[in-house]
């Protein structure tokens, strides 16, 4: 699997945006509470969107861009391929 950017939603209604080179491994880490930045958000994450990229560097660049938006609906639209407004 190539690298990509993903958006998680937790049972608490909180979101987390991240990038990875192995989505399955990273998701298992989130589920197990092993990721410091998401351990406090809850134990029932679900992947709501994933955008594959050509490289880890590109995934991290997109992650920084999307995090600067501070609007999960806009990020979700971008990850699903819709043009954000």
**Tens-of-pLDDT digits for all 85 residues of the chain?**
579 999 999 998 999 999 999 999 999 999 998 999 998 888 889 999 999 999 999 999 999 999 999 888 899 888 888 555 4
Measured at the alpha carbon of residue 58, what is the angle toward residues 54 and 64, in degrees to the nearest 5?
150
pLDDT at 81: 80
pLDDT at 85: 44
pLDDT at 39: 87
CATH of segment(s) 4-79: 3.40.1440.10
Prediction pTM value: 0.88
pLDDT at 29: 93
Look at residues 43, 40, 45, 41 and name the one whose alpha carbon lies nearest to residue 23.
45
Domain layout of the chain by residue ranges: 4-79
Q: Could you give the count of Cα atoms lying within 13 Å of 16 in the half-sphere of its Cβ?
A: 24
């Amino acid at each position: 699997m190539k690298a990509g950017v993903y958006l998680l939603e937790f049972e608490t209604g909180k979101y987390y945006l991240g990038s990875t080179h192995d989505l399955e491994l990273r998701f298992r880490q989130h589920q197990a509470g092993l990721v410091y930045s998401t351990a406090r958000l809850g134990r029932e994450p679900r992947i709501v969107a994933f955008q594959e990229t050509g490289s880890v560097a590109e995934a991290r660049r997109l992650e920084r861009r999307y995090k600067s938006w501070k609007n999960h609906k806009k990020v979700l639209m971008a990850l699903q391929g819709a043009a954000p407004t």
